Amino acid sequence: MNRIETNNYAENNKSADLYALIFIILFFAIDFLPNFNISGIQYPQFLEFSILNIIMSVYFYLKPEFIAVDTFDFLKNNSLLRIYLIFILFCGLSFFGAKNASLVISNLIDLTIIFCLIVNFSILLKNKLYLIYKIILIVGLVAILKSGYEIYKFKQIADHFSTGEALSKMFGNTGNINILAATLNLKVPFLLIGITTFSGNKKLFLFVSLLLVTIVILLTGARAAIISLFLVYFIFILYYINTSLPYRQKIVTCAILIFPVLISIYIADITFKHSENRQRYSSIENRIGQIKGGDQSANLRLQFWRNAIKMTQANPILGVGLGNYIVESIPYERDKNSDATISTHTHNDFLEIFAETGVINGLIYFFLFVFLFFLNFRNVIKPFNDNSRIVAILTLMMVISYGVDSFFNFPMFKGTMVISFCLLVVFTILNKPQQSKLEFSTGKNNIYLLCALIGIIPAYFAILGCKAGYLETELILDKDGDKIKGKLTGDYIASQLPVCPNILSTSQSYYEFAARYYTHEKKYDMALKYLSKAEKINPYLGGIAMEKYLISIEKKNTDSAYVYIKESLKLRPKNLKAYQYAQHLATLKHDTLEILRQHQLITSHVRSPEAWNIAAHSLQILCYDEKKLTDFLNKAVKEFPDNSILRQRRIAILSAIYIKRGEVFQDQKKYKKALENYQEVLKIDPDNENALKRIGGIYFNLGRYEKAIAFFSQVLTYENPKNNSGRIEFFLGLSYDRKNDKEKACQYFNLSKAKNYPEAQALLDRNCK
């Protein structure tokens, strides 16, 4: 290979710098990439990453004169790259412990794309870290466009809807409010460096960018981003005041840097006062304080962390498989979530890697960040030149910001976060003393062409991911709640089933959705076929058993339906719909023991007055032991004293019990005992018409007509269609007749006749001529 030598590559190769900056711009352009109607912005983002890798490989092949001949040796001997490569290899080994190989392959491809980005940008920027100041301006432009657009969109939504609605929509094209805050937060180190480096218009431009960025970060209320923002500020100011600059200049500059944060806190607190969601959006101080106080979100995150630790303990060597947390975590969350609600992530990338790929690889991934921190901290303390220190403090702040987000969220496979991760690794790799003499090749290296060809493989898998995301969007749009609109068909979905990944973002298998559409079309054999396949991918949600229950009901096979609905409830014991179905079938089968068993299962996982209400109704239908049913109802009302529906159920059931007892005594002519039971009804339900009628009837039979009249008259005060038979008016007439009040008697006999009561006419003819 022919070689040329140069002592000042930067001065004589402006075009190489220009190409490098173009690739940096293309890299950051992913922040503005639309989702193309694909569910999951990461799919098109990783497709662009893979295409960018291919283009860069072709560029290296066509422009060998821009690449130092020692590049391969430099990268091959780099410890940081070795650690990351070992991490990826261990992720690959988790394939052998995974139940869903598709998810391992899909996520492994993404990691490979990230590794290639790191390598390619390391090649691109090797010996070019002097471009860091131009990169800062690019980041400033990206930050001002992104944050400015979010503020504009916020105002538009707030003007047309509400402040709370506008705040909840602040997630840009990231799909998540925390990711938006995190990606903006990772741009803050660039802006801080730029403000303290540039002067004039550039300084003003970056200051405005920092102001807009901090406003958006604080408006999101994302605690991890707010914490890392303050940490980044603290570290940079600590660094800055230890520089050799004049004391006055340092004070003024620090005040300038802090000003955007103070303004942003003020704006955020004023905005939060108009928000409906006072839990998340009350004040910045309160939002940070919730971490220590332990709100519902924080407690749920802690539960996810405990579950990840349990998963790691159960699978310490290979883990459950890279990417398999979304499925394998479901059995650990039976106590927390209902229906198809799942965590999807641990909200801690470190713990998720432990759970998915085993203890050894979890430690490798954690050590990678420790190593990144150590290398950059060392270069801040002992830099080999001023530029090295600037790059080191910049990267150190990025490591801390990304590390904090990794501890509280899940940035690893989020495209916009991948940009920052790649750059912080690349800057760390390249921040080394530059050789005084550099050698560059003039001959094309076929290895780059080979890399471009190999790069087609991850691009192909990225396209598969986009197709899967597009199908998920179609499925979402073809549903109205739980109901299928029916624009799609089972055959269409079956023909579009993606291979990698084979589940939706909800962890449900695409096979399951094909089955639902076949069920909707009453093609039950096809539905059962695809449900069987879906069960091998994700058997934990209970939706498959629910679908089999619905099919069995349609086929009039209640025995099978009973088995499936109990299985569904067992898998998701907080699912009230499954519980209601299961209680209904248990009632039809007179299975009192199963009713109680199901009730114990669901109430051990969720406090729900509706669950008590459903069980009480089932027990009443099956004539459950009166004392036990009374105790059951009393316990329910004691647990939920403010629930009106449950109180009414208790009243209705207890009233029915006392009425039934009273009827027995009344038939035996034990009127005193009967009256005692009817009076018990009136104690809990003073307006119970049935009890009033029966008490009136007893007093009539006993000849106590005054009291009979009082109770019968009270019944007539209620506008009840059941009282339109004329029977009450007839007995009121009889009561007045027995009291020799002929005028009143005839009045009520006429009312009874008007309602077509059959015996009224005879008494009218006899007594009222």
Least confident range from 5-19, 173-187, 244-258, 380-394: namely: 5-19
Residue with tokens 């009273």: 662
**Cα-based angle 332, 335, 338 (whole degrees, multiple of 5):** 100
Distance of CA 3 to the CA centre of its chain: 56
C-alpha span between 344 and 323 (Å, rounded): 10
Provide the b/e sequence for 269-283 (b: ≥16 CB within 10 Å). Answer: bebbeebeeeebbbb
Q: Predicted confidence band at 289 (pLDDT cuts at 50, 70, 90)?
A: low
What does the pLDDT read at residue 752?
87
Q: In the Cβ-directed half-sphere of 14, how many Cα atoms lie within 13 Å?
A: 1
What does the pLDDT read at residue 551?
96
Q: Predicted confidence band at 753 (pLDDT cuts at 50, 70, 90)?
A: confident
**DSSP H/E element including 530:** helix 524-537
What does the pLDDT read at residue 9?
46
**DSSP H/E element including 440:** strand 438-441
Q: Please give the full DSSP string across 200-249, using - where no structure is assigned.
A: HHHHHHHHHHHHHHHHHHHHHT-HHHHHHHHHHHHHHHHHHHTSSS-HHH
What does the pLDDT read at residue 295?
64
Residue with tokens 């519980």: 579
pTM: 0.86
- The DSSP bridge pattern shows strands 438-441 and 479-480 to be unpaired
What does the pLDDT read at residue 758?
87
What does the pLDDT read at residue 339?
54
Question: pLDDT digit string (tens) for 464-480?
Answer: 999 999 999 999 999 87
Residue with tokens 């801080």: 192
Question: pLDDT digit string (tens) for 361-419?
Answer: 999 999 999 999 999 999 999 998 889 999 999 999 999 999 999 999 999 999 999 99
Q: Which two tokens stand for residue 112?
A: 């490979």
**DSSP H/E element including 515:** helix 510-520
Asked if 501 contacts 326 with a C-beta cutoff of 8 angstroms, the reply is no
Q: What is the 3-state secondary structure (H, E, C) of 68-109?
A: ECCHHHHHHCCHHHHHHHHHHHHHHHHHHHCCCHHHHHHHHH
Q: Which two tokens stand for residue 332?
A: 């650990």
What does the pLDDT read at residue 164?
85
By CB atoms closer than 10 A (0-12, 13-18, 19+), residue 743 is exposed
Least confident range from 7-16, 99-108, 279-288: namely: 7-16
Question: pLDDT digit string (tens) for 418-447?
Answer: 999 999 999 999 998 876 566 666 668 888
- The DSSP bridge pattern shows strands 438-441 and 3-6 to be antiparallel
Q: Predicted confidence band at 460 (pLDDT cuts at 50, 70, 90)?
A: very high
C-alpha span between 708 and 695 (Å, rounded): 7
C-alpha span between 700 and 252 (Å, rounded): 98
Asked if 339 contacts 575 with a C-beta cutoff of 8 angstroms, the reply is yes
**Domain covering 699-769, topology:** 1.25.40
Q: Please give the full DSSP string across 351-386, using - where no structure is assigned.
A: HHHHHHH-HHHHHHHHHHHHHHHHHHHHHHHS-SSH
Question: pLDDT digit string (tens) for 610-641?
Answer: 999 999 999 989 989 888 988 998 999 999 99
Question: pLDDT digit string (tens) for 580-618?
Answer: 999 999 999 999 999 999 999 999 988 889 999 999 999
**Cα-based angle 173, 179, 180 (whole degrees, multiple of 5):** 55
What does the pLDDT read at residue 733?
87
Is a pLDDT exceeding 60 seen at residue 561?
yes
The number of beta carbons lying within 10 Å of the beta carbon of residue 246 is 9
C-alpha span between 231 and 400 (Å, rounded): 8
Q: Predicted confidence band at 8 (pLDDT cuts at 50, 70, 90)?
A: very low
Is a pLDDT exceeding 60 seen at residue 726?
yes
What does the pLDDT read at residue 237?
95
Q: Predicted confidence band at 6 (pLDDT cuts at 50, 70, 90)?
A: very low
The whole-number average pLDDT for the span 724-740 is 87
Q: Is the bond into 758 cis (omega within 30 degrees of 0)?
A: no
Residue 6, strand partner residues: 438
What does the pLDDT read at residue 306?
94
Question: pLDDT digit string (tens) for 643-661?
Answer: 988 888 888 888 888 898 9
Share of the chain above pLDDT 90, in %: 63
Q: Predicted confidence band at 103 (pLDDT cuts at 50, 70, 90)?
A: very high
The whole-number average pLDDT for the span 252-278 is 88
Which residues make up the CATH 1.25.40 domain(s) of the chain? 699-769
What does the pLDDT read at residue 171?
84
Question: pLDDT digit string (tens) for 192-206?
Answer: 999 999 999 999 999
The whole-number average pLDDT for the span 346-359 is 96
Residue with tokens 């075009």: 15
What does the pLDDT read at residue 651?
87
Task: Please provide the average confidence, as pLDDT, over all residues in the chain.
Answer: 90
The whole-number average pLDDT for the span 556-561 is 95
3-state helix, strand, coil in the chain (%, to 5): 75, 0, 25
Q: Which two tokens stand for residue 270?
A: 């004023």
Q: Which of 223, 188, 218, 221 is nearest to 206 (CA)?
A: 188
Asked if 542 contacts 572 with a C-beta cutoff of 8 angstroms, the reply is yes
